[in-house]
Copies of this chain bind each other. A is one copy, B any other.
Amino acid sequence: MKMSLTAGLVMGALVAFSASHHAAADELRGTGDMGLVVERATGSLLVVENTTRTQLARVEGLGDLSHASIVYSRDARYGYVFGRDGGLTKVDLLTAKIDARVIQAGNAIGGAISQDGRLVAVSNYEPGGVKVFDAKTLKLVADIPTGSKTVGLVDAPGNRFVFSLYDEGAIWVADMSDPHTPKITKFENVGTQPYDGLISPDGRYYIAGLFGEDGMVMLDLWNIDKGPVRILDGYGRGEEKLPVYKMPHLEGWAMANGMAFVPAIGHHEVLVVDTTTWKEVARIPSHGQPVFVMAQPDGRQVWVNFAYPLNDTIQVIDTQTQKIIKTLTPGKGVLHMEFTPRGEDVWMSVRDLDLIKVFDTATFEQLAELPGLKPSGIFFTWRSGRIGL
């Protein structure tokens, strides 16, 4: 279905399904193919499903959703939305309603759900620290002050949360096996200004980016006694050659085929890093400064979007040949991508067109487009079953 892209028509279509969703909410349905799309400007979410590629409903009243991210309950029914304004909102995908909402800090940056699904944690800028909530009720379970802006919060096996302290140059690991009394292991002096973190898909390696230095720091959670080690010297901010429009989120690291595909900072390049040695082995010239470098679930291809002003383009890299095999131009403001669980389709937000476009990952054909209001992050419920997502 092609739609006219005027805002009026888009709004009309959305209001229509918004009014009708309450009838549908009584129907039983599986939740494995559902998802939420962040509409940043309006503080709303679209509820979508990726089998027939449709919107089901809109949820409003989410507050400031810039840089918002979402994790899912273990039954794949509820999304936990982490807003920049410190709002933590539990959204019911089946009824398209807010189930619970708390303003838990003045300024927050991301969160995570524990391995067993019982706890949701948020990392905060203002005041710094991590707060941990009961996933069912959003009641506060534990407060972990850090005396620092806190960033790069992820879940790890063993019901642990791992996060970094920007002002302190530290990484903390919180074991939440007893939720009311977190056991915290602290690593000091890991490097200057860790600004974001990621965990490998198996939950073994925690990697933090350093804003103040060239290089990154890695903690092997299987061998935590060895402490953090420096990796990728030369990767970072110090020696920048081009203006950096946006520090790439570390979520934008793809691990595939024994390699990590990593956005170069300030360069029009994707770096290829051997995940055995953590050394750079190749650089792939790209259309612009990469923002998200995302691997298909099968690891066969990675898809890259770019920073402003080159953000109308997507490039696809073959992980075997490490060559760009396709360039697409979905439109201005391609902000995020998300694959269907087994990777046959990829969804992308095209903010300035008020559209979400769906492409076939094998043929690169556009399969569908859905209206959305300045869409940004797309998060499907398959994340519910994955470590670190």
Mark A residues whose CB is within 8 Å of B: 25-26, 28-34, 49-51, 72-78, 93-95, 115-117, 155, 157-159, 177, 202-204, 222-223, 296-300, 320, 340-345, 362, 381-382, 384-387
CB distance from A278 to the nearest CB of B (A): 15
Which residues of chain B have C-beta atoms less than 8 A from A74's C-beta?
32-33, 50-51, 340-342
The distance in angstroms between the C-alpha atoms of A194 and B23, with both chains bound, is 52
Which residues of chain B have C-beta atoms less than 8 A from A155's C-beta?
342
Which residues of chain B have C-beta atoms less than 8 A from A203's C-beta?
298
Which residues of chain B have C-beta atoms less than 8 A from A78's C-beta?
30
Pick the contact of A387: B50, B51, B298 (CB < 8 A): B298
The distance in angstroms between the C-alpha atoms of A377 and B115, with both chains bound, is 24
Asked if B344 and A28 make an inter-chain contact with CB atoms under 8 angstroms apart, the answer reads: no
Which residues of chain B have C-beta atoms less than 8 A from A222's C-beta?
300, 320
Asked if A75 and B344 make an inter-chain contact with CB atoms under 8 angstroms apart, the answer reads: no
Most B-side CB within 10 Å, residue of A26, A298, A345 = A298
Q: Which B residue's beta carbon lies closest to that of A388?
A: B342
Which residues of chain B have C-beta atoms less than 8 A from A72's C-beta?
32
Asked if B157 and A33 make an inter-chain contact with CB atoms under 8 angstroms apart, the answer reads: no
The 4 tightest CB contacts between A and B, nearest first, are: A30-B77, A32-B76, A341-B385, A30-B75
Which residues of chain B have C-beta atoms less than 8 A from A342's C-beta?
74, 115-117, 155, 157, 385-387
The distance in angstroms between the C-alpha atoms of A26 and B94, with both chains bound, is 13
Q: Given A30-B31, A72-B32, A75-B30, do A157 and B344 touch, yes or no (CB 8 Å)?
A: yes
Which residues of chain B have C-beta atoms less than 8 A from A384's C-beta?
32, 341
The distance in angstroms between the C-alpha atoms of A389 and B32, with both chains bound, is 15
- A28-B94, A32-B75, A116-B345 given. 19 additional CB < 8 A pairs? A29-B75, A29-B94, A31-B32, A31-B75, A32-B32, A32-B72, A32-B77, A33-B74, A51-B74, A74-B342, A115-B343, A157-B362, A159-B344, A202-B300, A203-B298, A204-B298, A204-B300, A342-B385, A342-B387
Asked if B298 and A202 make an inter-chain contact with CB atoms under 8 angstroms apart, the answer reads: yes
CB distance from A241 to the nearest CB of B (A): 35
CB distance from A212 to the nearest CB of B (A): 32
Asked if B385 and A202 make an inter-chain contact with CB atoms under 8 angstroms apart, the answer reads: no
CB distance from A105 to the nearest CB of B (A): 26
Can you list 11 A-B pairs, Cβ within 8 angstroms, ordered by A? Answer: A30-B75, A30-B78, A31-B32, A31-B76, A32-B76, A34-B75, A51-B74, A74-B340, A76-B76, A116-B344, A157-B296
Which residues of chain B have C-beta atoms less than 8 A from A343's C-beta?
115, 157, 387
Q: Given A32-B76, A75-B30, A76-B31, do A157 and B116 touch, yes or no (CB 8 Å)?
A: no
The distance in angstroms between the C-alpha atoms of A386 and B95, with both chains bound, is 27
The distance in angstroms between the C-alpha atoms of A30 and B33, with both chains bound, is 11
Q: Given A342-B115, A344-B116, do A299 and B204 touch, yes or no (CB 8 Å)?
A: yes
Q: Given A95-B28, A320-B222, A344-B116, do A76 and B202 touch, yes or no (CB 8 Å)?
A: no
Which residues of chain B have C-beta atoms less than 8 A from A77's C-beta?
28-30, 32
The distance in angstroms between the C-alpha atoms of A28 and B159, with both chains bound, is 28
